[in-house]
Amino acid sequence: MNYSIITYGCQMNVHESEKIAGILKEKGYERESPLEEADIIVFNTCCIRENAENHAFGNIGALKKLKREKKNLIIAVGGCMAQEEGKAELLRKKFPFIDIVFGTHNLCEFGELIERKRARRKAVVSLLPERGETEDHIEPVRRSYPNAWVNITYGCNNFCSYCIVPYVRGRERSRRAEDILREVRTLLEEGYKEITLLGQNVNSYNSDGQGGMSFPELLDAVAGMGGKYRVRFMTSHPKDFSEELARVMKARENVCNLLHLPAQSGNDRILSLMNRRYTREKYLAEIAMLRGYIPDCPVTTDLIVGFPTETEEEFEDTLSLVREAKFASAFTFVYSPRTGTKAAAMEGQISEDVSKERIMRLVEQVNENTRALSATFVGKTTEILCEDFDEKKGLYLGRNEGGRMGYFESERNVIGEFVNLKVERANGISLYGKLV
Ligand code: SAH
Ligand code: SF4
Ligand code: F3S
């Protein structure tokens, strides 16, 4: 039988979709297929911003006809949006043809839900309260060789005032270090070449005492298994970034010299309203500390414009932060009010026009940084882990340790190999050149 999974949202969700594929495989769905040929279609949703939700709503709605023509097709909706308060009911009201709704706390149960659906005609909805689980015992069907994602924490305790994640993912739980290390060892034996450790705030790993070691210790152990491979991690929260971590990044050759450190804003009043618990000064001091250990270490970030009450001057502090911190690249977002969060109830919501104008200026500044850094690679050689072949371009591609995307020709298939790229030209975060 065939399956399709449509994934929205962050890397965490991309990996969760690999677990969903694992569950589907166990239930006899062996082949991934286009929507029209699928026996089951799973939407793994996100609710971080309104447009993520609208996107999913649109795509689910578009299946009405297919479902009418194909009575045995099962349509399942899971993930963060499904877990959101009241959304399961709304989904079923809007789209009565949905067969299964499951939340983020139901992943292990998804297989059972499929069987229940097969046994009866009625739709099944199962939104469990949080159960504090840290091990899901699901064998993922990994789809991103040579990269492998490994969860180290689930949930989040930070309650940034704009963010819905703590409400839909529950409290932060750390997996036991020995389970993580076992998983990594197996992945390396299977030939994976890049391990990315995943958590909403990796620096607070073991805050519940369940991990058994600190994040820098864990990172050191993950990186110390011998052989050639890379280690990445995301996301780091500036309030918990430590010198110990910078030391491990420097000491371990295979921990990529790249830090994703979401700043959100460059203004202290807004940072405080966001409940981020650091100042611009502390943020910049952390980057300086890191670059003391690793000169010019690339730092990437997430930025939000149009947070309630943000003034023009406060927005300009974000612009100047982009220059001052010399970000290697950045994800930029227009603030989106999320029901139930503190910020959504604040006075002084910013108009769409103002936010749009601000994001355009921010994107321009970020692009300037991106171009400037990419240009420094031209004429130099950089090591790339080849990940894929781009059919349209007719070129192989992969990233260097700092996350620049390298494109090149090759006579033989080099996916999964480390290669050296002599860069001839750059475009955005992409580098083009020849293998040497
Ligand atoms: N845990 C990570 C990121 C989680 S979500 C962290 O704390 O850094 C990824 C990004 O989405 C956030 O960094 C933030 O920039 C953005 N984001 C989250 N909620 C948002 C909202 N309500 N509106 C706009 N952007 C938001
Ligand atoms: Fe959301 Fe903040 Fe947690 Fe990140 S740290 S997931 S932005 S609450
Ligand atoms: Fe990720 Fe979206 Fe959920 S960003 S944690 S999938 S709300």
Q: What is the helix (H) or strand (E) element at residue 323, kind and residue range?
A: helix 312-324
User: What is the number of alpha carbons within 13 Å of residue 189 lying toward its C-beta?
Assistant: 6
Same domain? For 148 and 224 the reply is: yes
Whose Cα sits closest to atom 3 in ligand 1? Answer: 200
Identify the residue whose tokens are 């409400």.
167
321 lines ligand 2 (CB under 6 A): no
Q: Is the pLDDT of residue 247 over 90?
A: yes
Q: Is the pLDDT of residue 99 over 90?
A: yes
What pLDDT, in 10s, does the model give residues 351-397? 999 999 999 999 999 999 999 999 999 999 999 999 999 999 999 99
Q: Say which CATH number the domain at 162 has.
A: 3.30.750.210
Q: Is the pLDDT of residue 10 over 90?
A: yes
Whose Cα sits closest to atom 5 in ligand 1? Answer: 48
Question: Given ligand 3 and candidates 5, 47, 164, 198, which is best to mutate, with the most ligand atoms within 8 Å of its CB?
Answer: 47
Report CA dihedral (251, 142, 330, 409) to the nearest 10 degrees: 90
302 lines ligand 2 (CB under 6 A): no
Residue 27 near residue 60 (C-beta atoms within 8 A): no
Residues near ligand 3 with C-beta < 6 Å? 9-10, 12-13, 46-48, 80, 165, 168-169
Looking at residue 147, its pLDDT comes to 98
- Note down the domain range covering 429: 381-435
Answer yes or no: is 40 within a domain. Answer: yes
Looking at residue 80, its pLDDT comes to 97
Answer yes or no: is 23 within a domain. Answer: yes
Q: Say which CATH number the domain at 291 has.
A: 3.30.750.200
Please state, in angstroms and rounded to a whole number, the distance separating the CA atoms of residues 229 and 215.
Answer: 19
Beta partners for 357? none
Answer yes or no: is 230 within a domain. Answer: yes
Looking at residue 127, its pLDDT comes to 87
Which pairs with CB-CB distance under 8 Å and at least 24 residues apart come from 385-388? 385/146, 385/193, 385/194, 385/230, 385/416, 385/417, 385/418, 386/146, 386/410, 386/414, 386/415, 386/416, 386/417, 386/418, 386/419, 387/144, 387/146, 387/147, 387/415, 388/415
Same domain? For 234 and 286 the reply is: no
pTM of the shown model: 0.97
How many other C-beta atoms are found inside a 10 Å radius of the C-beta of residue 182? 11
166 lines ligand 2 (CB under 6 A): yes
Looking at residue 367, its pLDDT comes to 98
Question: Given ligand 2 and candidates 201, 272, 303, 335, which is best to mutate, with the most ligand atoms within 8 Å of its CB?
Answer: 201
Same domain? For 112 and 196 the reply is: no
Task: Tell me how far the alpha carbon of residue 44 lies from the centroid of ligand 3, in angstroms.
Answer: 10
271 lines ligand 2 (CB under 6 A): no
Looking at residue 106, its pLDDT comes to 87
Same domain? For 68 and 158 the reply is: no
416 lines ligand 2 (CB under 6 A): no
Mean pLDDT computed over 115-131: 87
Residue 327 tokens read as 């970000």
Same domain? For 348 and 265 the reply is: yes
Same domain? For 8 and 57 the reply is: yes
Q: Say which CATH number the domain at 428 has.
A: 2.40.50
Answer yes or no: is 132 within a domain. Answer: no
Looking at residue 126, its pLDDT comes to 86
Q: Say which CATH number the domain at 20 has.
A: 3.40.50.12160
Atom of ligand 2 nearest to the CA of 200: 6
Same domain? For 161 and 247 the reply is: yes
Q: Is the pLDDT of residue 73 over 90?
A: yes
> Which residue intervals of 164-265 are DSSP H helices?
165-169, 177-189, 215-223, 243-251
Answer yes or no: is 396 within a domain. Answer: yes
What pLDDT, in 10s, does the model give residues 14-70? 999 999 999 999 999 999 999 999 999 999 999 999 999 999 999 999 999 999 999
49 lines ligand 2 (CB under 6 A): no
Question: Given ligand 1 and candidates 46, 50, 163, 172, which is best to mutate, with the most ligand atoms within 8 Å of its CB?
Answer: 163
Same domain? For 15 and 114 the reply is: yes
Same domain? For 225 and 319 the reply is: no
Answer yes or no: is 298 within a domain. Answer: yes
Same domain? For 338 and 424 the reply is: no
Whose Cα sits closest to atom 5 in ligand 2? Answer: 158
Task: Tell me how far the alpha carbon of residue 91 lies from the centroid of ligand 3, in angstroms.
Answer: 18
Residue 249 tokens read as 């990044």
Atom of ligand 3 nearest to the CA of 45: 6
Whose Cα sits closest to atom 14 in ligand 1? Answer: 302
With H, G, I as helix, E, B as strand and everything else as coil, classify residue 284.
helix
Mean pLDDT computed over 143-164: 97
> Sign of the CA dihedral 250, 180, 26, 131?
negative
260 lines ligand 2 (CB under 6 A): no
Q: Is the pLDDT of residue 135 over 80?
A: no
Please state, in angstroms and rounded to a whole number, the distance separating the CA atoms of residues 168 and 346.
Answer: 21
What pLDDT, in 10s, does the model give residues 172-188? 999 999 999 999 999 99
Atom of ligand 2 nearest to the CA of 164: 1
Looking at residue 121, its pLDDT comes to 80
Answer yes or no: is 390 within a domain. Answer: yes
Q: Is the pLDDT of residue 133 over 90?
A: no
For 296, which DSSP code? T
Same domain? For 241 and 199 the reply is: yes
Same domain? For 171 and 72 the reply is: no
> Could you say which of 94, 126, 158 is where a domain stops?
126
Looking at residue 417, its pLDDT comes to 98
Domains of the chain: total: 4
Q: Is the pLDDT of residue 159 over 80?
A: yes
In the sheet with 194-198, reading across from the earlier edge strand, the strands are: 147-151, 194-198, 230-234
Answer yes or no: is 291 within a domain. Answer: yes
Q: Is the pLDDT of residue 130 over 90?
A: no
Mean pLDDT computed over 300-311: 98
Give the closest ligand to the alpha carbon of residue 156: 2
Task: Tell me how far the alpha carbon of residue 166 lies from the centroid of ligand 2, in angstroms.
Answer: 7
